[in-house]
Structure 1
Amino acid sequence: MFHARLQLLRHGRPARPCLFCRSRSSNSSRTYSSISGTPPPSPITSLSTDSTLPNLRIGRHTRVIFQGFTGRQATANARESLAWGTNIVGGVTPGRSGEHLGLPLLPSVRAAVETLKPDATGIYVPASLAPAAIEEAIAAEVPLVVAVAEHIPLHAMLRIHAMLKTQSVTRLVGANSPGIISAVGACRIGFQPLPCFSPGSGAGTRVGIAARSGTLSYEAVASTTRAGLGQSLCVGVGGDIVAGTDLREALTVLADDPETDAIALIGEIGGTSELEAAAWIEAYHKQAQAAGVQPKPIVALIGGTHAAVEGRIMGHAGAFALPGEPTAQEKIAALERAGASIVDHPEKFGQAIKARLDALLGSGASGSSLFGQAGSTTQRRGMHTSSLGRSNGRRPTIQTPRTTSRTVTQKRSIYISQDATFDLLRKQGVNAAPYSGHGTQRYLAISIDRSSKSPCILAAPSYDGTTPSSQSNIRRFPFNYHAGVDGLLTARVANHLGLDTLSSTASTEGLRKLLRVLYTTFIEHEAYLVETAVVSRLADIKVVHARLGLDDVAFGQRQAAGDETTLQLAAVTPPPEADALETQAKAGGIVYVTLKDKEGSAPGTIGTLVNGAGLAMNTVDALAGLGGQATNFLDTGGKATSETVKTCFQVLLQDPRVRVIFVNVFGGLTLGDMIARGVLLAFQETNVTVPVVVRIRGTNEAEGQEIIRSSGLPLFAYDSFDDAAAKAIELSNEKA
């Protein structure tokens, strides 16, 4: 079925069977156990041709190595994973040999591959070392590479994706990912909180999860477990700008997995992965309908309906919209049209999925009357109530978030001014000057195509000076990172811009020269956006608007290294508008964004304190869905301490709008009892003048809740998000 095992390895050793084939042969007694007892059509064979996708099917058979094996974090993680049942066979620390944790330690990935025959590697090294580690694993042809590090420079990942496209053996998950885990197969390659996971009780109870957010996926896991369900395979695609494995690819594997009965899909702002997932779901449903079988139920959540801040990164590196990318509302609408049900909070996944599964059981899972119905109606609350039962055999009603949102206009951290960008372009021979009012403006940019995981040209035949994402005529033209812009691509862009009808030869040649300059600028300065507006006059291409957006991680590294050009750019780059609270939070390792509406007013009243970027976005969204308004986005970070929580309180209390503080924490790496102690510390050392509502779930949730309950302080402790949010909204209204 798949051809990975037919690929010859470049270094002369015999090709090993692919992971999928080995797992099938070693588990030949397994039968498909879907609701209907009949496997749905295989989406992998018909809807995807990528031979590395089966490498995601991890389990007890998966032989795992760790890169950075002797490091503190890798050691602690390996101990947990081994105790849980993960088949870790050894690891790599450069230049070292021997044993670690009683397992072989090798000096290189190549040596580990030859000695240990791994199916997968988990990369546990700092972000600065991660690109080289990923490349080493690809060169050694490890079938599955899982990279958890965040803050890897964008262009390093683009180069890695260009490398991946030259081979057909290795599949990448991440970077900036919690990893991949199989609850059924007791295999963890990542840092997911193990106490949350359960394999379920058999057929009809196992939920596969594909998620861009780690914390939201943990919430979904806990929710399904509470609903009496379990989990099969959970793929954390991660929050990077270009993901090694995207949502559509994860869906492809989950739909074909015989141990997955239903799917939870978690997306967010930024990119087009959710639209591609929606198109895949539509095709999957049509294929199932044609075969006369039931498709697996899919329930989805999209973060950023209210927390989307134009031009600003919302915690995750990829959680911002590039020109031409869809809004969160557009993603929700596409998923609903495709047949997915929508929830507005991950706590609601369990009952929503259980209701869908019960509905299939109630219908006998033999017909196709349920097929393709989005079935989503708006409810304010009650996803955990009995109203979501079988609904007389029909698909139950699921809450749909409101589609209104506040647009907050702020800048990403590093935008180079138009004057400075003009200077850069002029030095390379470009005719650049502000628009004089003469000639038709056309939009032209070099940016990222997250779908193809490569650079792309963005082009629109007209431009009115507004945000190009609002223009329906913008088109993407992806191209190879190393090859650059060729003549054929230039001709296609010229055709879309309408330049090929204007002094054809000269205009097209001028466009070719300009695109080469833009691409050179994109590469040399490690940009994520080189944006222009151009006019064609007298067979010349003139740039009349320009903006350069730089990857903040790479910019900081180059600046610290004393790169002369970067230092010159920093000197002429105006600092962003000062926000004292954001600056104070950043100094404490906290990601904080002040939320205002598009007119600059600040109607919010609820200060939010959340761990995890995805959960922080969703908290703002869900509060808005219940009638509340947050003053801020705040992500404590994955390793928040009690001191961090105290700092968060100090920041929040300086905003005069805050009438109540809402602490919403799901314990993964962040422990629930640690957060609770941080809240108490804040009361002891900070003058807390507003009510505080605390919701703690996840790792050490019982301990954290008990600390809050027994504190004797004016705190409101809740387990349910809806109950906690309703209380926060009630208290904020009382203070009005």
Structure 2
Amino acid sequence: MLGRPALRETRLPRLSAAACRSSFGTTSVNRTKYDATLKNLKIGKHTRVIFQGFTGRQATANAKESIAWGTNIVGGVTPGRGGEHLGLPVLPSVKKAVEVLKPDATGIYVAAHQAPAAIEEAIEAEVPLIVAVAEHIPLHDILRIHSMLKTQSASRLVGANSPGIISSVGKCRIGFQPLPCFEPGKVGIVAKSGTLSYEGRFFIPLDTRLHRHFAPALGRVSALASAAISLSGTGLVDGLKILVEDEETEAIAICGEIGGFAEMEVAEWIQEYRSRIGNPKPIAAVVAGVNAVPGRVMGHAGAFALPGEPDASAKAKALEDAGVAVINHPSRFGPVLKTLLSGSQTQSGNGIASLRATAAMQQRRTLHTFAAKRPLPRAWHQKVTPRQGTTENRRNLYLDRDVALDVLRQQDIDVLETPDNVSDSVQHLLAVSINRATSSPCIITSPTTSDIDEAARSFDFDYPVHGVPDLAPIIPDILKTLNLGEGSLVTLSTLIHQLVDLFTSKEAFLLQTHIAAPAPDHKTVQITHAHLGFDDAAHHSGKRQADIHALRDVSLEDAAEVSAEPDGIVYIKLGGGGGDQLGTADESHNIGTLVNGAGLAMNTVDALADAGGKAANFLDTGGKATSETVKRSFEVILGDERVKCIFVNIFGGLTLGDMIARGIVLAFRDLEEQLATIPVVVRIRGTNEAEGQKIIADSGLAGLYAFDNFDEAAAKAVELAKRSS
């Protein structure tokens, strides 16, 4: 057993009796029941909102902002409490709040480990719209919640891990979207990435001070629903259905990214929509993650591809084929949609390259180059000691092959002792994972070991809220897709049940195996290879599965990537040589990137590639980065000797531009020696951008280039990197 710790049997806590009253299926009937709640997304001045966790610090701050903006918050819930808060009633339960306050929507502002129970309580109380903003909710808790949602037609969920939903026309915010980005307008956004949507919203609108070149009729975003978790309660198509029917929405922007099938579903839906509507609304889209590292979670919970899921390029191609104007950066939404609305450009997805030049012209063309005296040098140590007591920002745990096979053996699963002797031609793919299109667990099969084989199939099954799922109806079909003989049925059935049990008991998101039925009997199905992935949130948020996560071996991972985790930074090396990537590092990947937000970080890497450069890394400081986080990010980036230039691309939504600027100045002063030969290109837009640019201008630092325009900033970074190579 290689001396590894034995795995304890760990089960999820059961849902309440109300959640278990019926079997939870994925049939079209159940889907239709939940589809009946789409109308609940139509928020506005009429929407009566309550907050769960109302008296907490985060909820209080958000409620004050939202009320001042115009949101009709009528009270809230704090378990076991009563009285008033912010001059509004506090009720002890959601059920009581529904009786007294008659809300149309609830915003859930509690920690991740409390959020599943809060969502369940809201579903049982039949609140029409439930918005969950918490990150890091354990994935299997969300799977169970979807089991509840599918059996009812009263409540609609937005989230979790979502900025929420907002109507700037109706002055209703349920979430934490940065309010300076919103004014009444004609454009709606549906998004899987908060930061991409924030930047997209900023450039869509009219602001007479910053965007005089936009026509007043275009306005700012009128509505948004987004989610960035592996399983979202409301998807992109759901948002589109609302926006195309909304009389005040004249154009739509979509922010997509790797992970799941949502963008493919959107493309199919848009094709149908455009075929039946004589004058369809113009639609533009951006899809982040073209250059994402396969198998890695790129910053947030949903940003990774499971077996059989399309990559970002395939998604962009499908959208283009559906007639969507696909752009490569959210700053281009404004000019592209303006052109489409004017009727001067057909919405075919073609000609966007020519529109990029227009987009660049329409952004402010301001370049500041600061060359002045340098501050005094300070000591800096190449070896970084991670700070203790902070939250890790890892999104999953993958086990290497030997450890994965050992885990299977501990579960009494039949593993072939000499797998390398089995020909690839007689091996097959068998995996337990998640169907993000149906929000259900599924079994994936292929007669070969490839998940992109045309004969590959996916079989949904009901999430086992208690007991074991009934897999008997699908196992004969699985046997056929694997091209195994009838004599293998018994051992295949046993294996599938064992894998499903491991999937649920240890809260996995992927159990990918290769199987074979070798000689002499060709009836005993055994595993020859395993790639196992487990949900990190179950451990860090749910305080479960410590034994499985103790199997992580950081010595097999890139030291710099590991060292960034305790600071809340997601850092992934690109171009080989780091993390899960094999081979020698590619020296042409020489631009270090520092970005706030996973979607924007992926998109920055993609847009740099379009500009002729190659990013050395993906780095997401997190949506709420601090000056210290920015300085720490510089340290991590500078540890890569390939880096010849650093590109800082910050959109100030929740993250403030002046705070980022202070972090950059702090990094320059503390990392004087290392930055002496590494130029830094900074682009700060959004909240407090003027203050941030002034801090940089007044710093007197050489080697620092500040831009407003993304294209100019990217071109300068590419130029400087090539010059230094």
Q: What TM-score do the two structures reach when normalised by structure 2?
A: 0.84
Q: Tell me the SS of whatever aligns to 1:638.
A: coil
Equivalent residue for 1:474, pick from 456, 461, 475? 456
Amino acid at match of 1:248: V
1:316 deviates by 1.1
Q: Are residues 1:723 and 2:702 paired?
A: no
Q: Are residues 1:454 and 2:434 paired?
A: no
Q: Is the 8 A contact 1:693 1:727 kept in 2?
A: yes
RMSD: 2.3
1:614 deviates by 0.6
1:556 deviates by 4.0
Equivalent residue for 1:713, pick from 681, 684, 701? 701
Equivalent residue for 1:555, pick from 522, 527, 539? 539
1:380 deviates by 9.2
Q: Tell me the SS of whatever aligns to 2:61.
A: helix
Structure 1: distance between partners of 2:33 and 2:312: 26
The residue aligned with 1:20 is none
The residue aligned with 1:44 is none
Structure 2: distance between partners of 1:659 and 1:417: 33
- Matched ranges for 1:560-639 at <5 A: 566-567=546-547, 569-570=548-549, 572-575=551-554, 577-597=556-576, 599-602=583-586, 603-639=588-624
Q: Are residues 1:316 and 2:300 paired?
A: yes
Amino acid at match of 1:65: I
Q: Are residues 1:676 and 2:661 paired?
A: yes
Amino acid at match of 2:398: Y
Equivalent residue for 1:209, pick from 168, 173, 189? 189
Q: Tell me the SS of whatever aligns to 1:604.
A: coil
Deviations 1:225-272 (A, max 9, x none): 143422454334221111111111111111111121111011101111
- Matched ranges for 1:178-217 at <5 A: 178-200=163-185, 206-217=186-197
Deviations 1:473-528 (A, max 9, x none): 322111111262422211221222223xx2x2x32232222111110010111001
The residue aligned with 1:518 is 499
Equivalent residue for 2:228, pick from 234, 239, 248? 239
Structure 2: distance between partners of 1:48 and 1:354: 38
1:49 deviates by 8.1
The residue aligned with 1:399 is none
Distance 1:576 1:123, change over 3 A: farther
Q: Are residues 1:691 and 2:679 paired?
A: yes
Q: Is the 8 A contact 1:431 1:542 kept in 2?
A: yes
The residue aligned with 2:10 is none
Distance 1:242 1:412, change over 3 A: closer
Q: Is the 8 A contact 1:380 1:625 kept in 2?
A: no
Distance 1:704 1:573, change over 3 A: closer
1:386 deviates by 7.1
The residue aligned with 1:430 is 413
Structure 1: distance between partners of 2:411 and 2:300: 34
1:541 deviates by 1.5
Amino acid at match of 1:697: R
Structure 2: distance between partners of 1:574 and 1:284: 50
Q: Tell me the SS of whatever aligns to 2:74.
A: strand
The residue aligned with 2:265 is 276
- Matched ranges for 1:638-677 at <5 A: 638-677=623-662
Structure 1: distance between partners of 2:470 and 2:512: 16
Q: Tell me the SS of whatever aligns to 2:495.
A: helix
Q: Is the 8 A contact 2:456 2:481 kept in 1?
A: no
Q: Is the 8 A contact 1:48 1:252 kept in 2?
A: no
1:641 deviates by 1.2
Structure 2: distance between partners of 1:589 and 1:572: 21
The residue aligned with 2:73 is 88
The residue aligned with 1:42 is none
Amino acid at match of 2:572: V
Q: Tell me the SS of whatever aligns to 2:290.
A: coil
- Once the two structures are overlaid, the 10-residue window that deviates more, 618-627 or 657-666, is 657-666
Structure 2: distance between partners of 1:572 and 1:117: 49
Amino acid at match of 2:328: D
Distance 1:377 1:233, change over 3 A: closer
- Matched ranges for 1:66-77 at <5 A: 66-77=51-62
1:420 deviates by 3.9
- Matched ranges for 1:31-50 at <5 A: 50=35
Structure 1: distance between partners of 2:203 and 2:362: 17
Amino acid at match of 1:55: N
Q: Are residues 1:527 and 2:511 paired?
A: no
Q: Is the 8 A contact 1:232 1:259 kept in 2?
A: no
Structure 1: distance between partners of 2:600 and 2:411: 44
The residue aligned with 1:253 is 242
Structure 2: distance between partners of 1:244 and 1:678: 36
> RCO (CA 8 Å, sep 6+): is it higher in 1 or 2?
2
Structure 2: distance between partners of 1:216 and 1:234: 15
Structure 2: distance between partners of 1:595 and 1:646: 21
The residue aligned with 2:383 is none
Q: Is the 8 A contact 2:136 2:541 kept in 1?
A: no
Equivalent residue for 1:221, pick from 201, 219, 239? 201
Amino acid at match of 1:584: S
Q: Is the 8 A contact 2:168 2:184 kept in 1?
A: yes
Amino acid at match of 1:530: L
Equivalent residue for 2:132, pick from 129, 147, 172? 147
Distance 1:711 1:129, change over 3 A: same
Deviations 1:589-647 (A, max 9, x none): 21111112464323211111111111111111101100011111111111111111111
1:99 deviates by 0.6
The residue aligned with 1:414 is 397
1:419 deviates by 3.8
Q: Is the 8 A contact 2:327 2:352 kept in 1?
A: no
Q: Tell me the SS of whatever aligns to 2:297.
A: coil
The residue aligned with 1:168 is 153
- Matched ranges for 1:339-378 at <5 A: 339-359=323-343, 373-378=348-353
Q: Is the 8 A contact 1:182 1:231 kept in 2?
A: no
Equivalent residue for 1:445, pick from 431, 434, 437? 431
Distance 1:89 1:413, change over 3 A: closer
**Structure 1 unpaired stretches of 5+:** 1-9, 12-46, 201-205, 364-369, 389-410
Amino acid at match of 1:704: G
Structure 1: distance between partners of 2:147 and 2:478: 22
Distance 1:638 1:427, change over 3 A: closer
Equivalent residue for 2:106, pick from 112, 115, 121? 121
Distance 1:641 1:541, change over 3 A: same
Amino acid at match of 2:670: E
Distance 1:219 1:486, change over 3 A: same
Distance 1:81 1:449, change over 3 A: same
Amino acid at match of 2:712: D
1:128 deviates by 1.1
Amino acid at match of 1:661: I
Equivalent residue for 1:265, pick from 243, 251, 254? 254
Q: Is the 8 A contact 1:485 1:519 kept in 2?
A: no
Structure 1: distance between partners of 2:430 and 2:360: 51
Q: Tell me the SS of whatever aligns to 2:76.
A: strand
Structure 2: distance between partners of 1:171 and 1:531: 32
Deviations 1:441-463 (A, max 9, x none): 11101001000001000000112
Structure 1: distance between partners of 2:326 and 2:65: 34
Aligned residues: 638
Runs of 4+, deviation exceeding 6 Å: none
The residue aligned with 2:375 is none
Structure 1: distance between partners of 2:555 and 2:120: 35
1:215 deviates by 0.7
